[in-house]
């Protein structure tokens, strides 16, 4: 089993999912990346994120590789989220619930496929694996996605991929030996690449995102306001206005400028 097999399994699963399950959300083709479990970046994460951030071997002692994937939402979703004033759009809240479930199911599917061929895999939940006080996780999917070459951080903190930032990230650890993906040195955020933008900051009306800082507790307060607003849905701590109708919502805007 190699990189192409893993990528195909993830893509096929997402492609057939709406045909097999009653879901409102639609997704575009995912972007899959690979990184060695021995990559020195995992040691750096213990200082960049926090000391308790797990190394792959702490999740799976025989770890050889880490796989990360970004599942982009259909292109209309961020527009719907933009149109709804103050609160997140209902479709954005539903997409959060449905995509978290999709990620869990992809991982369960891959685990059983890998185990049937004698390999091992550690399951990691898509979210809610964070400390409610510090609002940090001991396994940051988006840092792992960065390490696996899937994208780079934007001024809004989100990972920007070739298909934008509007979507969700999953990752897992396995003992399979996989070829690491290349990491691009090119920024994907217009502001970071030296262009005028910071539209994400303008979108945040909740005193959370500024040009030079991010107040994660203010952000979380807004997420919980939305959860309360959509009380008929299961936990939906969402907002995502900083990713709605911004240049990096569904594309790599630096590439679109023809700069790279």
Binding site for ligand B12 (CB under 6 A): 48-49, 96, 126-127, 129-130, 135-137, 139-143, 146, 153, 156-159, 165, 167-169, 209, 216, 219-220, 223, 238-240, 242-243
Residue pointed to by tokens 């479990």: 37
Q: Which of 191, 180, 179, 122 is nearest to 147 (CA)?
A: 180
Nearer to ligand SF4, 113 or 215 (CB): 215
Q: Looking at the DSSP assignment, which residues form a beta bridge with residue 131?
A: 136
Binding partner of 135, given ligand B12, ligand SF4, none, CB within 5-8 angstroms per partner class: ligand B12
User: Binding of ligand SF4 at residue 163 (CB under 6 A)?
Assistant: no
Using CB under 6 A, count the residues that bind ligand SF4: 25
DSSP E strands, the chain: 31-36, 65-72, 121-122, 130-131, 136-137, 152-153, 159-160, 167-174
To ligand SF4, the closest distance from the beta carbon of 75 in angstroms equals: 16
Q: How far apart are the C-alpha atoms of 253 and 106, rounded to whole Å?
A: 29
User: Binding of ligand SF4 at residue 241 (CB under 6 A)?
Assistant: yes
Bin 71: left if φ > 0, else alpha if -120 < ψ < 50, else beta.
Answer: beta
To ligand B12, the closest distance from the beta carbon of 118 in angstroms equals: 28
Backbone angles phi, psi at 215, to 5 degrees: -100, 95
Binding partner of 72, given ligand SF4, ligand B12, none, CB within 5-8 angstroms per partner class: none
Binding site for ligand SF4 (CB under 6 A): 154-156, 189-191, 197-200, 203-204, 206, 208-209, 219, 222, 239-242, 246-248, 253
């Amino acid at each position: 089993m190699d990189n192409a097999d893993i990528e195909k399994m993830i893509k096929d699963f997402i492609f057939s999912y709406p045909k097999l399950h009653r879901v409102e959300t639609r997704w575009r083709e995912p972007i899959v990346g690979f990184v060695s479990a021995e990559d020195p970046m995992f040691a750096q994460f213990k200082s960049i994120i926090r000391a308790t951030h797990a190394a792959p071997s702490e999740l799976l002692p025989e770890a050889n590789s880490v796989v990360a994937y970004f599942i982009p939402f259909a292109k209309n979703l961020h527009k719907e989220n933009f149109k709804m004033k103050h609160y997140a759009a209902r479709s954005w809240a539903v997409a959060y619930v449905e995509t978290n479930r999709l990620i869990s199911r992809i991982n369960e599917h891959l685990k059983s496929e890998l185990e049937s061929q004698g390999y091992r895999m550690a399951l990691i939940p898509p979210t809610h694996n964070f400390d409610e006080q510090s609002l940090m996780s001991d396994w940051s999917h988006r840092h792992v996605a960065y390490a696996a070459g899937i994208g780079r951080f934007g001024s809004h903190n989100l990972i920007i991929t070739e298909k934008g930032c509007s979507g969700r990230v999953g990752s897992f650890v396995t003992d399979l030996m996989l070829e690491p993906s290349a990491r691009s040195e090119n920024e994907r955020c217009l502001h970071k690449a030296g262009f005028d933008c910071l539209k994400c900051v303008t979108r945040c009306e909740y005193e959370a995102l500024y040009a030079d800082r991010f107040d994660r507790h203010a952000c979380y307060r807004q997420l919980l306001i939305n959860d309360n607003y959509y009380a008929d849905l299961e936990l939906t701590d969402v907002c995502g206005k900083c990713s709605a109708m911004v240049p990096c919502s569904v594309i790599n805007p630096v590439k679109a400028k023809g700069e790279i």
